[in-house]
Amino acid sequence: MGNEDDATAILLVFRGAAFRQQGFQDAAHEVLKEALRSRSRAAPIRHLALSERAENYIAQGKKAMARKDLERILAEDSDYEGVRDRLAELAQTGQRMTGEPLSRMRRCRRGKILRGLRDTA
C-alpha cells in the first residue's frame, strides 16, 4: 500500500501501530516511514504518525529519536495532548517509561481525523 492520499496515509499509521503492538518494531518503522513520506498530508495525520513512530522508537529503546519526533509535533502544534508529558517522561533518564502511551489522545484524534476524511469523500 502506498501513501497516495490522506486516507491511505491514515491506514498506514494504523498498520504501523498494529505492528508495534504485536512486537514487530522493524515492520512498524517501515510502514510509519512510508506514512510520513509525503509532507503534504494533513497535519493531524502527520502528527499521529509521528506520535506512533515515537512510541515505536521507545519500544526499541531509542529515546533520542522518540524525543525528536515528539518535538516535531510540539513545534507544529503546541496544544497536542500528551506530548509535553511524554517528553517529560523521556527526560527522566535512568527511569523506565511507565506512562501510558498517548493512546487516549490518539483515540480522540483518530475519530476526528476519520470524520474529516468522511466529510471530504
> For residue 92, what pLDDT band results from cuts at 50, 70 and 90?
confident
5/27 Cα distance (integer angstroms): 21
57/48 Cα distance (integer angstroms): 14
pLDDT of residue 108: 56
pTM of the model: 0.78
Torsion of Cα atoms, 63 then 64 then 66 then 72, to 10°: 160
Residue 65 has pLDDT above 60, yes or no: yes
> What string of DSSP letters covers 44-81?
HHHHHHHHHHHHHHHHTT-HHHHHHHHHHHHHH-TT-T
Residue with cell 503492538: 21
Structural domains of the chain in order of their starting residue, each with its CATH number: 6-120 (1.25.40.10)
Single-letter residue type at 106: R
pLDDT digits over 101-120, tens only? 555 555 556 666 766 666 66
Which among 93, 95, 71, 97 has a CA at the least distance from the CA of 84?
71
Single-letter residue type at 58: I
Residue 94 has pLDDT above 50, yes or no: no
pLDDT of residue 105: 52
pLDDT of residue 71: 96
119/121 Cα distance (integer angstroms): 6
pLDDT digits over 10-47, tens only? 999 999 999 999 999 999 999 999 999 998 999 999 99
